[in-house]
Structures are given as structure tokens and as C-alpha cells.
């Protein structure tokens, strides 16, 4: 029976004691390693992360992991922290509350971790130590500690009774000295060990024999070479005692063994008759395009030999045939254009050609250029915080050749929330269209009408819905007096907002953000039951129009809708008013239920409206760009006047139903209209 795969990542970078310098890497190390270990396509571990905790919490989590294990479980523990050596030579792992002069009571002893490993029932245990080691001694002693922190000595191999376990360390014996009670600042450096570990697992480069699996021994060899290449002064060490091989991860790197061509075809490729050899080239080309990769590589090798050794006519034919299987991509340059700082950006390299040409590995030229291999190529994402122009390259290597794809773009600062002064005489320039826009993850297969046609369709549909809504209500009311007495007037605000949103969708300056925002806000209100089945038709039209508007926004690549923190007073006031509306409607729902249980359906409508207003006000305050959020709240509050008014028209005439909650809600909605109008005046529609 196959056991579980569980990983515990312990990362301590912040320390209460000023003598322990903060480490910059553990938090990022923990996040990156947890992501790759939990990936179902790579390692498929159940990962638990313990970050910046006390020694007691860390020891408890370590003991729980090893104590609650079964024989077939695979357990992995990763420490990223300071490692401290006591005067007696014992090794300790520093926690947030560690005091260098009181290691026994405030740090995690390496001996404790070893005892937990020894007591565990698991037969497969891997301990990874990415620690900065130093000598620790009493406070005020202004000398350097002597001796080395030989890490592997703290985890001797004996006493495991044949159970497999492995210890891999970032370095075996490094002496980082305390001066006084402080660890030298230059030891707080980014971890090359854990970053190499993550890269080896994520890219599959640690799969040295290319059999599709990353074994523990292969992983160590990869770590040794990678760490030594980046830092020659650091030497990873290991102590592995395993019966058999332990495979930690899968890999997409798989060496394909060529299948020998049939004997008669081999003979034809070497026949003295040139026409026979030319016929062999045709058959080899057919095998080269086969989905059987072993067959294709065998044919490629024979064609390569013929292209290099045969007469010119045959060599040209063989070279032309094998060139059909060369590595090639859909683009030679990925141009990201301008990317707002902090905004995710993803482009795709799509490989072309027969199956043998698409079995490739990808390598990036810079750490901020991240590569994720997919079925038909690779997705390229950026992890670049610095502003300014950037360029890099992706090297694509396959069994039939290699190519380089250049990466270009510019990171621009995120615009400040304060609007720039508007110069009326100078029209706002449209953003320049990039020569070749990168294909984002969600846009890779997008087809259909462009943003302008979608926006026009949404505007026309919204105007038609507003007109139809008014016509239907007037026809149902029959007389003008009945129109006001039966609550038909409550549709007027919703109609006005729908018509305004439709016009905004048709206007060139507001169709990109303000129009879609207002239309989405009024569509949210239109989802509320209005008391007549007939009105369902214009309501559905508004919802469809809002969907078209959102699609047009999504297809506009000059910006991206996203959520952010409230940045101004307007956002905070909007949320508070939304909470007030929700509170008032909830109070009124309670009054209806107290009045009569038969009013439960009406009370439920009050609660639905309350929830929608709460969600809408929060969304409007958080959505970016700000102009979309302002317009969204305008549509929500403008249409909300009619909805709240309709609820009032249905209230029973009874002294037990005071209408206080309704008055609170109406006042908050009207206040939201005023606040939103002021914010819209301060925010240009084309922003």
C-alpha cells in the first residue's frame, strides 16, 4: 500500500534577539519550495509551512510529523534559519524567540530532531538544512568562537535500524563568527541552496539520467553542482542511507532512445544506386514525422549521416528532410510592451513542427524570467520588481536543434491614485500598440469580435432594456395615477441609469471603463426580483449587456481589472454606506417577520438586496482602475434608489412596521449617490 507524502517547511527569518541578524531569504524560500512540492505534476506532497515561530511551536510540529507517520510514508523536513553551535559543540536551530546565551531553552536542538527521526515509523525520511551556522557564547564575550559546526555530526547514521533516511545540508562545516553577541551582517544573504533546490525540481534539470523521475541521489548531485557554480565557497554535503532509490519528484525530461531503422531501409540508405538512396530519404522522412519519438529519432540520425557523407544531390535531399523536424517557435521575439509594476504578465512560446520537434527543454537567461513548460511549449512569466526596460532570452533545446527567443519589454511604475491635471486643449493620446503583444494565459485562445464591437453591442442592448422596461411598466399601469400609486415610478431610476450606462458604452471616451462599470453596477441591481415576471426580460438584457461589457474590458490589453486595498476616503465611505444600507434593510426584514410569518418572502427579498449592496459597495471600493469602481457604485446606487423605493411601496400599513430600517437604507443609498457623484467629478472618465 502506498503511503502519504508529507513535507514540513520551517522558515525563520525574523528574530526577537538583536544579536541574530534578520535573514532575507527564508520567507521567499518557504513560499517557492511549498509551491513546487505541492504541485501535483511534480512532487505532490501535502505541505505544511511554519514561518517565524517560537522554538516550542517548531518542536511541536516536528514531533507531530514524525510521530503520526506510517511505514510507507515519505517525510521531508526543510529548515531555513540560523544554525547555532553551543560552547559544548551541540547544534541548535534558531527560532524567533531564540537567545544565543540560552540555547537549551530557546532554540530547537538538532539532537531533538534526530530523536524524532529515530522514533518515526517512516522508512523514507529526508532532512534538508539550509542554515547559516555560527558559534554562540555568553553575552558580552568579545572574542570569536572557535571550532566548526560540522552539521552531519549532529545526525549520525547509526541507530536507525535499517530505516532509510537522508540529510542534505547547504554546507557541512562553515564557521560564521559572533562578535560580542551579534552575528556579522554579511551572513544574511539570499539562499543559493534552496533556490537551486526549487529550480531543479520545477524545471526537471535535477533529472540527470532523464528517465522522467528525480531521485534523491540525482537531486544532491544537481544541488552540489548548482551551489558550487553560484558560490564556490559553499559546498553542500550529504549523508544518505537508503535501501533502494527514493524518488522525490517527476520530470518532463525524458531521454528518448532511438529505434534502429529496419535492416532493409538501412541497406537502401547505403545502396550504391543513388536512386535507391533517394527513395530511402523519402521513407526516412515519413518515419521522421511519426508520433513514435524513438522511430523519429532513429530516422533523424540516419538522415543526418546521409546529409554529411553522401553526394551533393542526396545530401541536399536528406538535409531538406531533416530540416522539417528542426526546433522552431511561433515567434522569435516576445514583446511584453509596457507592464505596470506589480501586475502579472504571462506570454507563451508555442512550438511548431512534428512531435520530435516539440520535445524540448527551456532555459532562461535571468532569474526574473520564469519558465513553466506546458504541453505545446512554455509559458513565460516575469518576476521583476525594478522599473525600466528589460531584455532577456529563452533558449529552447531539443533533440533536433536549438533556438533562442528574445524577450523584451518595459516595467512602468503603478500610477498614483491622484489624477493628473487635465489639459482640455490637449487630447489624451491613445497608448501605442506594441509591434507584437505577448499572449497572456487567459488570452491565448481568444477569438471573436474586438472590444469596440462588443462595447457597442452592450450599449445598444442596455438602451433597449431601459426603454423596454419603461414601456412595460407604463403598459401595466394603464393610467398615470395608477403608475404612481402602484409603485411603477420606482422603475424610473433604474431606467435612467440603464440608459445612461448604454450611452456611456457608445461614447468613445467612456466606453473603456466608465461605461462597463456603470453597466455592471445596474446589472447587479437588476438581478433583484422586481415583482413582475414581465420585467424579467429587460433585466436579462441588462445582465447580458454587462457580460458583453466585461468581455470588451478583458480584451482591451492596455489595462487589467484587479482588486487592491482602499486608498482614499471615498473608498472607505462607500464601504461604510454599503454596510449602513445592509443594516437598514436587515432591520426592516426583521420587522416584516415579526409582523407576520406570511411576509417571509418579502423579508427574504430585503435580505437579498442587503447582501447585494454589501458585496457591491466592497467591490466598488476595491476594484482597480478607480474609474471603473466609481462607475460601478454609480450604477449600483442609482438603480438602488428604485429598488429601495419599490420595497417601501410593498410595506404593509401597520403600526408594528415602522419603516425605520427602510428610511436608514434609503438615506444611505442617497448619500452613496452623492458621494459617488463627487468621486466621479474628481475622476476623469477616460482615466
What pLDDT shows up at residue 435?
Answer: 47
% of the chain with per-residue pLDDT over 70? 79
pLDDT 10s digits, 646-671: 776 666 655 566 777 778 888 888 88
pLDDT at position 298 over 50: yes
Mean pLDDT within 46-61: 93
Confidence tier at 558 by pLDDT (50, 70, 90): low
How far apart CA 50 and CA 253 sit, in angstroms, is 32
Choose between 3 and 418: higher pLDDT: 3
Mean pLDDT within 143-163: 42
The closest alpha carbon to 672, from 642, 630, 643, belongs to 630
Confidence tier at 7 by pLDDT (50, 70, 90): very high
What pLDDT shows up at residue 47?
Answer: 93
Q: Which residue reads 454606506 in cell numbers? A: 577
Q: Poorest-confidence range of 238-247, 289-298, 349-358, 473-482?
A: 473-482
3-state secondary structure of 452: helix
Q: How far is CA 290 from CA 82, 171, 287, 299, in A?
A: 55, 48, 5, 10
What pLDDT shows up at residue 450?
Answer: 52
Confidence tier at 287 by pLDDT (50, 70, 90): very high
Mean pLDDT within 326-339: 87
Confidence tier at 273 by pLDDT (50, 70, 90): very high
User: What is residue 388's DSSP assignment?
Assistant: E
Choose between 256 and 413: higher pLDDT: 413
pLDDT at position 284 over 90: yes
Q: Which residue reads 551579534 in cell numbers? A: 182
pLDDT at position 399 over 50: yes
What pLDDT shows up at residue 185?
Answer: 41
The alpha carbon torsion through 528, 534, 538, 541 (nearest 10 deg) reads 90
* Residue 451 CB-half CA count within 13 A: 17
Q: Which residue reads 486608498 in cell numbers? A: 567
- CATH 2.60.40.10 applies to domain 328-416+432-443: yes
Residue 363: all three cell numbers together: 532555459
What pLDDT shows up at residue 280?
Answer: 93
What pLDDT shows up at residue 533?
Answer: 57
Total residue length of the chain: 687
pLDDT at position 181 over 50: no
CA 513 to chain centroid, in Å, comes to 25
Q: 165-202 as b/e, with b when 16 or more CB fall inside 10 Å?
A: bbbbbbbbebebebeebebeeeebeebbbbbbbbbbbb
pLDDT at position 142 over 50: no
The runs of H, that is alpha helices, within 212-369 are 216-230, 263-269, 274-288, 293-309, 312-323
Choose between 33 and 560: higher pLDDT: 33
What pLDDT shows up at residue 551?
Answer: 85
Burial tier of 583 (Cβ tally within 10 Å: 0-12, 13-18, 19+): middle
Choose between 65 and 176: higher pLDDT: 65
How far apart CA 8 and CA 499 sit, in angstroms, is 57
What pLDDT shows up at residue 143?
Answer: 28
What pLDDT shows up at residue 686?
Answer: 42
Please state, as a whole number, how many other Cβ atoms lie within 10 Å of the Cβ of residue 262.
12
pLDDT at position 173 over 60: no
Q: Poorest-confidence range of 163-167, 185-189, 430-434, 608-612?
A: 185-189
What pLDDT shows up at residue 148?
Answer: 47
Average model confidence (pLDDT) across the chain: 78
Mean pLDDT within 358-381: 83
pLDDT 10s digits, 59-115: 999 999 999 899 889 999 999 888 888 877 788 899 999 988 888 899 999 889 999
The runs of H, that is alpha helices, within 487-625 are 491-506, 514-526, 536-555, 569-595, 600-622
Across 107-121, 220-234, 554-568, the highest mean pLDDT is recorded for 107-121
Choose between 176 and 240: higher pLDDT: 240
How far apart CA 390 and CA 408 sit, in angstroms, is 6
**295 within 8 A of 330, measured Cβ to Cβ:** no
Mean pLDDT within 31-52: 89
Element (H, E) at 48: strand 46-51
Architecture of domain 5-252: 3-Layer(aba) Sandwich (3.40)
**647 within 8 A of 383, measured Cβ to Cβ:** no
Mean pLDDT within 301-318: 92
% of the chain with per-residue pLDDT over 90? 17
**95 within 8 A of 108, measured Cβ to Cβ:** yes
pLDDT at position 136 over 60: no
What pLDDT shows up at residue 317?
Answer: 92
What pLDDT shows up at residue 39?
Answer: 87
Confidence tier at 57 by pLDDT (50, 70, 90): very high
What pLDDT shows up at residue 308?
Answer: 92
pLDDT at position 10 over 90: yes
Amino acid at each position: 500500500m502506498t503511503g502519504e507524502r508529507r513535507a514540513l517547511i520551517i522558515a525563520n527569518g525574523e528574530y526577537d534577539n538583536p544579536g541574530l541578524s534578520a535573514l532575507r531569504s527564508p520567507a521567499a524560500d518557504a513560499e517557492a519550495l511549498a509551491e513546487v512540492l505541492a504541485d501535483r505534476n511534480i512532487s505532490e506532497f501535502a505541505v505544511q509551512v511554519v514561518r517565524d515561530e517560537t522554538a516550542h511551536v517548531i518542536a511541536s510540529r516536528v514531533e507531530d510529523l514524525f510521530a503520526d507517520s506510517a511505514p510507507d510514508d515519505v517525510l521531508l523536513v526543510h529548515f531555513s534559519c540560523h544554525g547555532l553551535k553551543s560552547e559544548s559543540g551541540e547544534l541548535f536551530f534558531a527560532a524567533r524567540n531564540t537567545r544565543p546565551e540560552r540555547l537549551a531553552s530557546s532554540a530547537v536542538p538538532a539532537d531533538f530532531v534526530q530523536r524524532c527521526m529515530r522514533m518515526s515509523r517512516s522508512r523514507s525520511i529526508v532532512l534538508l538544512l539550509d542554515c547559516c551556522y555560527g558559534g554562540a557564547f555568553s553575552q558580552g564575550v568579545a572574542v570569536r568562537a572557535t571550532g566548526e559546526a560540522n552539521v552531519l555530526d549532529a545526525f549520525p547514521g547509526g541507530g536507525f535500524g535499517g530505516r532509510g533516511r537522508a540529510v542534505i545540508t547547504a554546507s557541512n562545516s562553515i564557521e560564521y563568527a559572533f562578535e560580542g553577541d551579534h552575528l556579522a551582517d554579511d551572513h544574511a544573504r539570499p539562499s543559493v541552496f534552496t533556490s537551486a533546490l526549487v529550480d531543479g525540481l520545477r524545471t526537471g534539470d535535477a533529472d540527470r539520467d532523464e528517465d522522467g523521475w528525480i531521485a534523491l541521489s540525482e537531486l544532491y548531485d544537481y544541488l552540489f553542482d548548482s551551489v558550487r557554480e553560484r558560490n564556490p565557497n559553499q559546498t553542500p554535503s550529504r549523508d544518505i542511507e537508503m535501501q533502494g532509490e527514493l524518488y522525490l519528484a517527476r520530470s518532463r525530461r525524458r531521454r528518448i532512445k532511438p529505434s534502429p531503422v529496419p535492416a532493409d531501409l538501412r541497406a537502401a540508405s547505403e545502396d550504391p544506386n543513388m536512386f535507391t538512396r533517394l527513395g530511402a530519404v523519402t521513407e526516412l522522412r515519413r518515419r521522421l514525422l511519426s508520433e513514435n519519438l524513438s522511430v523519429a529519432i532513429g530516422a533523424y540520425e540516419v538522415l543526418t549521416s546521409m546529409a554529411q557523407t553522401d553526394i551533393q544531390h542526396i545530401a541536399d535531399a536528406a538535409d531538406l528532410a531533416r530540416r522539417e523536424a528542426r526546433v522552431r517557435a511561433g515567434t522569435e521575439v516576445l514583446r511584453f510592451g509596457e507592464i505596470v509594476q506589480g501586475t502579472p504578465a504571462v506570454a507563451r512560446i508555442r512550438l511548431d513542427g512534428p512531435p520530435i520537434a516539440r520535445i524540448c527543454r527551456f532555459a532562461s537567461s535571468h532569474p526574473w524570467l520564469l519558465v513553466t513548460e506546458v504541453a505545446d511549449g512554455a509559458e513565460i512569466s516575469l518576476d521583476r520588481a525594478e522599473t525600466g526596460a528589460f531584455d532577456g532570452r529563452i533558449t529552447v533545446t531539443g533533440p533536433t536543434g536549438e533556438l533562442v527567443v528574445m524577450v523584451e519589454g518595459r516595467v512602468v511604475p503603478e500610477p498614483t491614485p491622484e489624477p493628473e491635471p487635465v489639459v482640455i486643449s490637449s487630447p489624451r493620446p491613445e497608448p501605442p500598440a506594441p509591434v507584437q503583444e505577448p499572449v497572456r494565459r487567459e488570452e491565448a485562445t481568444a477569438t471573436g469580435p474586438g472590444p469596440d464591437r462588443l462595447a457597442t453591442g452592450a450599449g445598444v442592448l442596455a438602451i433597449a432594456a431601459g426603454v423596454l422596461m419603461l414601456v412595460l411598466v407604463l403598459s401595466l399601469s394603464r393610467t398615470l395615477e395608477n403608475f404612481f400609486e402602484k409603485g411603477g415610478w420606482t422603475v424610473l431610476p433604474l431606467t435612467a441609469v440603464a440608459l445612461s450606462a448604454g450611452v456611456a458604452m457608445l461614447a468613445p471616451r467612456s466606453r473603456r471603463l466608465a461605461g462597463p462599470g456603470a453597466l455592471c453596477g445596474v446589472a447587479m441591481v437588476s438581478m433583484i426580483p422586481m415583482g413582475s415576471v414581465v420585467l424579467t426580460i429587460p433585466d436579462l438584457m441588462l445582465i447580458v449587456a454587462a457580460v458583453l461589457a466585461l468581455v470588451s474590458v478583458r480584451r482591451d490589453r492596455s489595462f487589467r481589472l484587479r482588486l487592491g486595498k482602499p486608498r482614499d476616503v471615498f473608498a472607505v465611505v462607500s464601504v461604510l454606506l454599503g454596510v449602513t444600507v445592509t443594516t437598514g434593510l436587515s432591520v426592516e426584514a426583521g420587522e416584516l417577520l415579526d409582523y407576520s410569518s406570511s411576509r417571509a418572502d418579502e423579508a427574504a427579498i430585503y435580505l437579498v438586496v442587503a447582501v447585494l449592496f454589501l458585496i457591491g459597495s466592497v467591490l466598488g471600493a476595491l476594484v482597480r482602475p478607480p474609474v471603473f469602481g466609481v462607475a460601478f457604485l454609480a450604477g449600483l446606487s442609482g438603480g438602488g434608489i428604485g429598488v429601495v423605493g419599490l420595497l417601501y411601496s410593498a410595506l404593509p400599513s401597520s403600526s408594528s412596521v415602522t419603516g425605520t430600517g427602510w428610511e436608514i437604507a434609503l438615506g444611505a443609498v442617497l448619500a452613496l449617490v452623492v458621494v459617488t457623484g463627487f468621486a466621479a467629478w474628481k475622476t476623469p472618465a477616460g482615466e
